[in-house]
Structure 1
Amino acid sequence: MLRKPLNGADETRPAMPVDTTALSRRAGVDFAALEHDLREVLAGEVRFDAGSRALYATDASNYRQVPIGVVIPRSTDDVVRTVEICRGHHAPILSRGAGTSLCGQCCNIAVVLDFSKYLNRIIDIDAEKKIARVEPGVVLDELREAAEKVGLTFAPDPATHSHNTLGGMIGNNSCGPHSVMGGRTEENVLELDILTYDGLRCRVGTTDAETFAQIEAEGGRRADIYRRLRALGERYAEPIRRCYPDIPRRVSGFNLRALLPGSSFDLARALVGSEGTCVVVLEATVRLVDSPPARTLLVAGFPDVYAAADAVPEVMAAGPIALEGMDDRLVGDIESMGLAPGNVGLLPEGAGWLLVEFGGADRDEAEGRARALMERLERAEPKPSMKLYADAAEAQRVWKIRESGLGATAHVPNERLTWEGWEDSAVAPENLGRYLRELRALLDRHGYRGDFYGHFGQGCLHTRIDFDLETADGIARYRAFIHEAARLVSGLGGSISGEHGDGQSKAELLPIMFGDEVVQAFREFKAIWDPDNRMNPGKVVDAFRVDENLRLGTGYDPRPVETRFAYTSDNGDFARAMLRCVGVGACRSKKGVMCPSYMATGEEMHSTRGRAHLLFEMLRGETLTGGWKEPAVKEALDLCLSCKGCKGECPVRVDMATYKAEFFSHYYEGRLRPISAYAFGLIDVWSRAASHAPGVANFFSRTEPFAGFAKWLLGIHPARRLPAFAMEAFAPAFRRRRPPAAAGKPLILWPDTFNNHFHPEVALAAVQVLEHAGFEVRLPPVRLCCGRPLYEFGMLDRARRYLLRILDALDTQIRDGLPVVVLEPACLTVFREELPQMLAGNEQARRLSSQVFLLSEFLEQRAPHARFGTLARRAVVHGHCHHQAVIGMDAEAAVLKKLGLDYEILDSGCCGMAGAFGFEKDKYDVSMRCAERALLPAVRAAADDTLLIADGYSCREQIVQSTARRPLHLAEVLRLALKGE
C-alpha cells in the first residue's frame, strides 16, 4: 500500500492545477466568454466546471485531452446554436456519443457535444422500405430491439452494442461480428442530416446527375462543396483505386471511393468514418436488413489459432452470418480472471477456435447449414473437433467467452497492463493465417504479449498489447513496433484499422498504408468540409503523433495515498486500481445491474466509468485539485448505490462500491458526517436499543408528529415510512424455542441486523428449513454485526473493528470449519468481498470468507438431496444487486426449480433502496426511477396468487413501501413448501 495521504491543500507535494486562463490563451479561445454566450441561448446544459471537463478528458484509448467544456444539447436547434457560437469564438467542436472510441477520437481540447442524454430518439422505422431514421444519440441495441419487432435488424454490431450510439458508429464506421451478414456502417447509411462548422445544414446521400445539376444551379456553399469533392475524386482517382486495399474490413482513412467517377457520388458514405473531423451529424437514415428468425452456433476447435485462421475461407464459403475466432491464450486469461465461469468447458478440444453462426427461416434450416459445413470440415486437414449449439441459452454462454476478450486481456493477473495501439488490424481473410504467424513473430521479437481474437470471417484481428507507456524507452519501443506492424499489414494488402478507425493512435501510420498522395487527398477532403480546421482537429488528418497526449506518458506521477482497503488485485496500489477502467463504457448499458444511477439519470458522472475517471483525475491532481476533499468526486460518488454491479458486470472488474467507501473514509476525516450517516450507519446499535422497548420505538418513529419530525431531522423523504421494529427479535425467539430431538451437522446461522430486528419471521423460517435438511442450527455466542451499512458512509475504521470482533467471537467455530449461513446477500458480500480486503493477510479472515454461504448456495452445495415439497405456483424473483453481481443467481434458480415453481428472474438490476439510499430525501427520485425501470411494473402486473421473492431486506422494503404487495424471502418460500401451501 502507498504511504502519503492525499488531503488537497495539505498534501505534502503541492497540487498542479490546470491554469484555465493560460489554456484559454493557448487555445486562442476565451473560455469564460464562450461559456457565457452558450448559457445565454441554449436550452440544453452547458458545463465548463472542472469536474465535467475531467469527465470527458479521455475515452477508451491511450489518450487524454481536457476539453474546453461540455454541451449537452436538448434539441437540434441547440446543436446549431452551439456551433454558431463556437464559430464566433473560433472554438473547436467534438461530437461524442458514448465515448467508447479506442483511438482517441473522443477526446480533444474542444467543446464536447454529448448527444447521448437527449438526442436519442428513433424517429421512424419503415418496415416496408427497411429503413430507420434516428438521432445520433440512439443506442444501437435500442434500434435493434425496435427493428426486431418487425423482423429486421441493423447489421453492424460492435461489442459495445448495449450502449454505443449510432452517431459514434457513423463516426467510426463500426462493424462487429454480424457485419459478415450486412457490411460495415458505411454500407448501411443511406442519408445524413449534417451541419458544417461554417453553418451549412443539408442532407447528403447518393447524388445522381440530375440532383448534382440542381445543387450546382442553386450555387452557394453547398454547391461549392459538391463541385470540389467531385473534382477531388477525379483528380485522385488513380491512387485511390491503386492504394485502397480491396478487403472486407478497410476502416482506416476517409471513404474517398464514394467520390470516384462512375460511383454513385455518395456523400453520406464518404462522411461515415470521418470521426467528427468534417461535420456534425444531426440525423441519419439507415438501412435495415432481415433478421434471421432462427440461429445456430457451430464451434470448431483447431490445434492452434493459425490453423483456425487458415480454415476461414472454407468456412466463409458456407455462408455464415458471423464468424469469430480466438486463441488459447485468450481462453487461458479468461479462466485465470474468473470470467465467464463454467462457459469455457463448453468449447470443443483445441487451442484455437472458430465460432460460426448460421441463420435460417427456422431452426431446421439454420442447423442444416451448420451440419453441411461440419461434413465438409470432417474431410479437412487438420480435422477440427466440433460442437453444435442449437439451444439459444447455451449458444449465448459460448458467445460470452468471446465477449470476455477485453476483460480478459486488459488486466491479466501478475502481468503488465495492456493497451490499444495495434488493436484492430485487418487483412483479406485468405491471408489471415499468414498474418497471425508473422505478427506473433513480431511480438516475440519485441518481447510483447498479446492474445489473438476477433472477426476472423472478415480478416479482422483484435489484440491488446502490454506496451510500456510510462517510460521514454518504453514509448520509443511502442512507436517502433507499430511502425513495423503497419508495414507488415500493408505488405499483405491489409488495413491498419479494421474496426476502430484512426483517431490519433493510427493517423501517423496512414502514409505507410496509403502513401503520401492519398494522405494529401484526405487533407483536402477535410479542408473542403472544414476549412478552418475546427472539427475535432488533430485527429486523422495532420494528427498528433501517437506518443503525444498519452493518458500516462513520462509525466504520469499520481500522488501516493494511504488506503484502508488492501487492493490485492492491483498490487496494493490505489492508483493502479484507477487504471482498471479502460473506458469502453459497459456501465452505460440500460440492462443488468450496472450502473443503476446512470440508468436513472443518463449522466456520465453517474456511470462507473465517469466515477473512475474522476478518481483518476483526482490522483493526477491537475484538473481536479481537491484531493480526498474534491467536491466533484464527492458529488459523483454520492449517487453510487454501492450495488457492486460493476464488480460483477464490468469487463475489467472496476469495484466502485469499494472505491466509494475508501473515498468517503478520507473525505469525512476530521469532519462530522450528516446525521443520517450515524442514524443508518449505526443501525445495529439503534436496533439493539429499540429491542428493549420496540413498542415505544415504533410509536415515536411511526406516529405523527413524531415520525414527521424524525424524518425531517434525518433527511428522510416524506413519502417514506420508517420500518417497524419486531415486537420480539429473532435471537431471543430462537433461544426460547424447543430444538429438534435429533441434532444434525452443526452450522451457524448469521442473525443479521435486519432479519433479527425487523423480519424475524425470515430467520425463523430459515431455521425450520435448515433443520428439515438435517442440520443443527446455532447462533454466534454474542451479538455481532457485519457492519454492511458502515461502508456506505466510509466508516471503515469502525467496520474493521466489527470484523475483528467477529473473528474473535467465532474463533473456535472458524477453526472447526463450521459453515456460516447468511440470509441477507449484502451481509454475505461483506464476508466475501470486504473482509479479505480489510484484513488482508489474516488467515482467519481467509478461512471465514471461504466458509460463508447464502441459504440457496448452502442447500445446493451441502444438502443437494434435501426435499421440501413442491409449489405449483407462479413466482416473480428479484435478485438483490449483490446477489446478482457477486454471487450469481444459479443456486437460487436451482432451488426454485426443485420446488416446481414456474418462476421468472427479473432483469431488474438494483431496486433503488440500497439501505439508506432510498430513504434519503435528495435521493428519493433516483431511487424510485431505479425501481420503476423493471421491478415495480413487474410487481404490479403480477397476479395476486403469484409469489414475489426477494432475499434482500432493502428490496423487500422498496416493494412494500411502493406497492400493496408483500414479497417473501427464499426461506419463507421453502417453509411454504414444507407446509404444503
Structure 2
Amino acid sequence: MNALIHDLAAFVPDDRLIRDPLRLLAYGTDASFYRLVPKVVVKAESEDEVRSVLGVCHRHHAPVTFRAAGTSLSGQSITDSVLLLLGDHWNGVRVLDQGLRIALQPGVIGADANRRLAAFARKIGPDPASIDSAKIGGMAANNSSGMCCGTADNSYQTLVTMRLILADGTLVDTGDAASVERFRESHADLLAELAELGRATRADGALAERIRAKFAIKNTTGYGLNSLVDFEDPLDILQHLMIGSEGTLGFIAEITYRTVPDYADKASTLMLFPDLAEACRAVAILKSQPVAAVELMDRPALRAVEDKPGMPEGLADQPDQAAALLVETRAENAATLAANIEAITQALAGFGFARPHAFTTDMTESAKLWKIRKGLFPAVGAVRKVGTTVIIEDVAFKIPDLAAATLDLQALLTRHGYDEAIIFGHALDGNLHFVFTQDFGQEAEVKRYAALMDDVADLVVNKYDGSLKAEHGTGRNMAPFVALEWGAQAHALMWRIKRLLDPQGLLNPGVIMDDNPHAHLENLKPLPSADPLVDTCIECGFCERMCPSHGLTLSPRQRITGWREISRANAAGEDSRALSKLYDYMGLDTCAACGLCATACPVGIETGSLIKALRGRKAGGLEKGIGRLAGKYFGATLTATRLGLTAASLVRRHWPRPARSPRPSKPATVGDAVVYIPSCASRSMGTAASDGETQPLTSVVATILDRAGFAMVLPDGLDDLCCGLPFESRGLAATAQSKGDQMLAALIKASDGGRLPVVMDTSACSNRLKAIRQAGLEVLDLVEFLATRALARLTIRRQTGPVLLHVPCSIKKQGLEETMIALARACADQVLVPESVTCCGFGGDRGFAVPELNSHALRRLTVPDSCREGFSANRTCEIGLTEHGGVPYRSIAYLVERLSRMT
C-alpha cells in the first residue's frame, strides 16, 4: 500500500490524498449498515485524475471504489482499499434544447439539477427521497427511482448519452462521433463480445422473456440485463449496462438525460381504508388513472407518525388492520387537473373508505400530507434503542400480488420478532419498503437478522417472483441473493459481463457480484453510544450539503462517526489520543456550529450542539475563568474589541471599523414603540474600512424606526448586555446562561413587562433570544420587523438593479428565509440568492480563528457584474462575504433605509 500511495502522490496533491485515521474512518462511512475503512481516500478533480488513479490501482492490483454523496443504503460506496471520492470540480450542468435535455457531471446534487430546469417546467426523471442530497453519479450508478419515477422515467429509460471511463482507463463519450469512432477501433473485441451477448440473449426466447418480465417492475438486483434485449448496438448496450452497475463496471463522468415535465398544478389526498386488501385493490384501479404518485402505508406506519404536529385528525382512531394511500395527481393546467381529480374520484366510487377524503390543491395542506410519508423512516430511526441501527429494505411485487405479499411480509416480520417494523412504499410500482431496528452487537441478533433475510428472499423470489431490490441497489446487502432471484443462467451472464469489463475484478469488489453466501452478514457497522445529542443519527448523510466544513475537514455525519469511534475506544479502554488530537481541529475547531445540519436531518439532530458541548468539556479552568470575567465585565470586553478593530481595519480593509452603542433613551409610553436591542457585534463593529458607507447599523436602525413612526426604547445598562451566544458557541454554558438571563431581565423591564415588542438586529442573536425568551416577551428579528411592521409605513423607491442577498443560517432556522427574500423583493424586481452557498462558514468568531473555514464555505461564491453590493443580516457573516465576494456586504436594513429616504 505504501508503494501505491507513493505513486498516487505523484499526481494527487497532499491535501487531496487522505491518509489520517480519523478521516479514513469518517470518509469511508455511508448510509448503509456496513463498515469498511479505506486504506487511502483520493479526492479526484478531473477525468484525467480518475484515469490515472485507475492506472495506479491496475499496476498495484488494488481495488478501487467510486463515491459521490455516500447516501447509498446497501453498502455500495465503502471499501477497505482505495476510495475515489468526487472533489469540488464535478458540478458541471448544461441545459440543452430549452430544457428537453440536460448534461450533468456526477457531482451535481439531483435537486440542484431540477432547480436549473425549473424555468423550463422540466425535471430529471429519477426522484429518490434523497434527491436533496444524492448526487447524479450515485443516482445513475444505482438506477435510483422514487415516488413518481416508476420504471418509465428512471436513469435507464431517460439516458441519452454518457461520458464513461472503463477499468482500463479508456474514456468514451457516446455523444461525440469522433470519440465513438476511436472507441470502436480501439475496443472492437469488447464491443463484438457485447454484441454477441446481446444476440445470444435475444435469441434465447425464454431468457429474453424472463429479463423483460423482471424489468416490468422495479428491479435493481444484479446488472441491467434488459440492455441486452432492448438494444442491438453494443455501445448502447454498454452505456445502459453502466446504469445500475454501482461502480463495478466503470466510472460515469457525465450523463445526459432526457427530461420530463414538471407540472405546477398538483393535488393530493390521503385515502384511509379499513384494511390492506381494500387499499391494494384501489391501487390496481389507480394504475390506469391519471395519478403521479400513490404511496401505501400500513397501520404501524401510520401509528409511527399519528401524534406528530400537523397530522390529519382521525389517524389515531383507525383500526389495527387499516391502511392508507397518499395519492397525488399533476397536470399542465388547472382544467386538466380538475378533470384528473374527477376521473380518479369516479374510478374509486363505491370503495369502502374508512373516512371521507377530498383532494387539496393548497400547497400547505399538501405539504402536511406528504410530511406523513416523509416522516416514516426517521420516525422509526428516532425511537430506536441506543446501539441499534435502523434498516430499510426495498422489494417489489407485481400489482396483483401486492395485497397478499404485504400481509405475508407483515406476518414474516412479526414471526421474527420485529414488532416495531413498518411497511410503506410506492404502490403504483408494487414497491414496498419495510423499516425495522436491528442490534448487530450480539451474535444472536445477527442470526435473527440472517434468518429474516433468508425468509424475505424466499417470500419475494420463490412465492411471488418479485425483486429483492427495487430501487436501492444490490450493494453488499443483496449480492449473495442475486443468483437466487435470477437463476443460474442469468447469473452466469452477469459474471461474463463483470469479467469482460473488469477483468481484474478491481472495481468495487463485493458489490452486486459476490459468491460469498454470508457477505451480507459481514463488516456490519457498529453504532455505539456517543452522546444523547446525536445517538439517534442514522448516518444517512442528508446533512452534508448544508455544512460549510464538508470537504475541508468533516461534515456533521462524519463528526458523529468520529466521536462515536472515540467514545467506543474510551469505553473499551483503548488508546484514543491520536483520534482525539485530530478531532480537536477537524471536529471542534472547524465546526461553524451554524445548526443548518438540523434543517436537513431526518431526525432533527443539530451536530453543532454536540460540538459546543465538547468544547465546553475541553475548556480548562483558565478558559472558563476568562469567560466568566469577560461576561462580568462585558462593557470593558467590547471596548477592547473596538480598540482591536481600530488597529485591524488599518491593515485588513474588509474588516469592520469600530462602532459605538446608540445613545440610551427613556421607556416610551406611546403605543408605537419598540425595544431595540443592538447585538454586541452591532455595538462594536461598524462598516468595513473599504466600504463607502460609514454609518453603523445602530444609526441606520434608529433612522428607520424614526421614519416609520416608532419610538425607540433602549434597555438600561446596554453596554453590559449580551444574549450569551459568544459564550455558548465556545461551550461556556454557565456564562452563556448568566448573560442570557441578564439580558432577558433588562428586556422585560424595557418592554414594560412584555407590552412592547423587542427587535434584535443580528439574526444569530435573535435566534438565541427566541430560544431562551420568557413567556409574554415578543422577540422579532430585524428582518422580520422590517418586513411585517415597518415596511407598510415606509415609501420604498424600488431600485432598478438586482439585489444580491445572503440568507444567514439563523434566518433559515427561524423560518424567515422567504420573509427576507420578500423584503428584498419589495426593494427591487430581481433578487439574487447564490445557490452555491449555504452557510458562509464565519460562525461567529470561527472566521477569525480558522479563516480557512470561511474561505472553503465561500469558495463557489460568484458575484454577478451587475451587483456592486450585497446584503445579509449578520455582521460577522458580512465580514467574510465582503472579503470573498469582492463587494461590500451590509445588513439589509441599509437597503431599506436608503430606498425609503424622501427626495
Q: TM-score range by the shorter chain?
A: 0.7 to 0.9
Matching residue of 2:547: 595
Q: Which amino acid aligns with 2:130?
A: T
Matching residue of 2:521: 547
Contact 2:676–2:713 under 8 Å retained in 1: no
Deviates more, 1:45-54 or 1:469-478: 45-54
Contact 2:158–2:259 under 8 Å retained in 1: no
Q: 1:790 aligned to 2:727?
A: yes
Q: 1:58 aligned to 2:58?
A: no
1:277 shift after superposition: 1.9
Q: Which amino acid aligns with 1:407?
A: P
- What is the correspondence of 1:923-942 to structure 2 with a 5 Å cutoff? 923=852, 926=855, 929=858, 932=861, 940=868
Q: Cα distance 1:801–1:147, how it changes in 2: closer, same or farther (>3 A)?
A: closer
Identify the match of residue 148 of structure 2 among 178, 200, 221: 178
Q: 1:514 aligned to 2:452?
A: no
Give me the whole-angstrom Cα distance separating, in 1, the residues matched to 2:575 and 2:148. 42
- What is the correspondence of 1:737-776 to structure 2 with a 5 Å cutoff? 737=666, 739-740=668-669, 753-754=680-681
- What is the correspondence of 1:459-478 to structure 2 with a 5 Å cutoff? 459-478=430-449
Matching residue of 1:840: none
Deviation string 1:733-787 (CA, Å, 9 cap, x unpaired) is 14xx26427999xx998775346666656897999999979x9997699955332
Contact 2:295–2:425 under 8 Å retained in 1: yes
Identify the match of residue 665 of structure 1 among 603, 616, 619: 616
Deviation string 1:397-454 (CA, Å, 9 cap, x unpaired) is 544443334333321377985522x521111233222222222222222232123332
Q: Cα distance 1:166–1:78, how it changes in 2: closer, same or farther (>3 A)?
A: same
- What is the correspondence of 1:778-927 to structure 2 with a 5 Å cutoff? 783-796=720-733, 798-799=735-736, 802=739, 821=758, 823=760, 824-830=762-768, 853-855=778-780, 870-871=793-794, 873=796, 880-885=808-813, 887-889=814-816, 909-920=838-849, 922-923=851-852, 926=855
Q: Cα distance 1:116–1:808, how it changes in 2: closer, same or farther (>3 A)?
A: same
Matching residue of 1:645: 596
Contact 1:192–1:284 under 8 Å retained in 2: yes
Deviation string 1:286-324 (CA, Å, 9 cap, x unpaired) is 3x1441444312313213572433311211211323333
Contact 2:306–2:315 under 8 Å retained in 1: no
- What is the correspondence of 1:312-323 to structure 2 with a 5 Å cutoff? 312-323=283-294
Contact 1:252–1:501 under 8 Å retained in 2: yes
Q: Which amino acid aligns with 1:884?
A: K
Q: Cα distance 1:478–1:967, how it changes in 2: closer, same or farther (>3 A)?
A: same
- Aligned-partner SS, 1:465: strand
Deviation string 1:234-275 (CA, Å, 9 cap, x unpaired) is 798645644863542112121223324986662322332121
- Aligned-partner SS, 2:254: strand
1:488 shift after superposition: 1.8
Deviation string 1:555-602 (CA, Å, 9 cap, x unpaired) is x7x5xxxxxxxxxxxxxx63454444333332344xxxx32444xxxx
1:37 shift after superposition: 0.4
Matching residue of 1:725: 660
Contact 2:18–2:42 under 8 Å retained in 1: yes
- What is the correspondence of 1:39-118 to structure 2 with a 5 Å cutoff? 39-42=9-12, 45-118=16-89
Matching residue of 2:691: none
Give me the whole-angstrom Cα distance separating, in 2, the residues matched to 1:866 and 1:220. 72
Deviation string 1:176-222 (CA, Å, 9 cap, x unpaired) is 12313833322222444443334455567999xxx99x999977652
Contact 2:667–2:714 under 8 Å retained in 1: no
Contact 2:784–2:816 under 8 Å retained in 1: no
- Aligned-partner SS, 1:357: strand
Unaligned 5+ runs, structure 2: 686-696
Give me the whole-angstrom Cα distance separating, in 1, the residues matched to 2:707 and 2:458. 68
Identify the match of residue 564 of structure 2 among 604, 613, 616: 616
- What is the correspondence of 1:165-314 to structure 2 with a 5 Å cutoff? 165-180=135-150, 182-202=152-172, 221-223=189-191, 225-226=193-194, 229-230=197-198, 233=201, 238=206, 241-242=209-210, 245=214, 247-260=216-229, 266-286=237-257, 288-303=258-273, 306=276, 307-314=278-285
Q: Cα distance 1:462–1:311, how it changes in 2: closer, same or farther (>3 A)?
A: same
Identify the match of residue 527 of structure 1 among 480, 484, 499: 499
Give me the whole-angstrom Cα distance separating, in 2, the residues matched to 1:917 and 1:881. 15
1:155 shift after superposition: 0.9
1:475 shift after superposition: 1.5
Contact 2:106–2:253 under 8 Å retained in 1: yes
Matching residue of 1:138: 108
Q: Which amino acid aligns with 2:680?
A: T
Contact 1:828–1:852 under 8 Å retained in 2: no
Contact 1:192–1:285 under 8 Å retained in 2: yes
Give me the whole-angstrom Cα distance separating, in 2, the residues matched to 1:305 and 1:595. 43
- Aligned-partner SS, 2:490: helix
Give me the whole-angstrom Cα distance separating, in 2, the residues matched to 1:939 and 1:272. 42
Matching residue of 1:841: none
Q: Which amino acid aligns with 2:537?
A: C
Matching residue of 2:353: 382
Q: Cα distance 1:437–1:974, how it changes in 2: closer, same or farther (>3 A)?
A: farther
- What is the correspondence of 1:361-380 to structure 2 with a 5 Å cutoff? 361-380=332-351
Give me the whole-angstrom Cα distance separating, in 2, the residues matched to 1:75 and 1:851. 57
Q: Cα distance 1:597–1:688, how it changes in 2: closer, same or farther (>3 A)?
A: same
Give me the whole-angstrom Cα distance separating, in 2, the residues matched to 1:858 and 1:174. 40
Matching residue of 2:635: 688
1:932 shift after superposition: 4.1
Give me the whole-angstrom Cα distance separating, in 2, the residues matched to 1:393 and 1:247. 35
Q: Which amino acid aligns with 1:226?
A: L
1:349 shift after superposition: 10
Give me the whole-angstrom Cα distance separating, in 2, the residues matched to 1:216 and 1:496. 36
- Aligned-partner SS, 1:180: coil
Matching residue of 2:126: 156
Give me the whole-angstrom Cα distance separating, in 1, the residues matched to 2:841 and 2:609. 18
Identity of aligned residues (%): 24
Give me the whole-angstrom Cα distance separating, in 1, the residues matched to 2:671 and 2:142. 69
Deviation string 1:696-745 (CA, Å, 9 cap, x unpaired) is 985x4465xx4468x7xxxxx553124312364xxxx14xx26427999x
Give me the whole-angstrom Cα distance separating, in 2, the residues matched to 1:648 and 1:398. 19
TM-score (norm 2): 0.80
Matching residue of 2:452: 481
Q: What number of residue pairs does the alignment pair up?
A: 863
Q: Cα distance 1:487–1:865, how it changes in 2: closer, same or farther (>3 A)?
A: same
Unaligned 5+ runs, structure 1: 1-30, 559-572, 712-716, 836-847, 943-947
Contact 1:156–1:177 under 8 Å retained in 2: no
Contact 2:297–2:323 under 8 Å retained in 1: yes
Contact 1:58–1:551 under 8 Å retained in 2: no
- Aligned-partner SS, 2:471: coil
Q: 1:585 aligned to 2:541?
A: yes
Give me the whole-angstrom Cα distance separating, in 2, the residues matched to 1:966 and 1:106. 43
Give me the whole-angstrom Cα distance separating, in 2, the residues matched to 1:796 and 1:279. 51
Q: Cα distance 1:454–1:807, how it changes in 2: closer, same or farther (>3 A)?
A: same
Give me the whole-angstrom Cα distance separating, in 1, the residues matched to 2:847 and 2:457. 53
- Aligned-partner SS, 2:660: coil
1:922 shift after superposition: 2.5
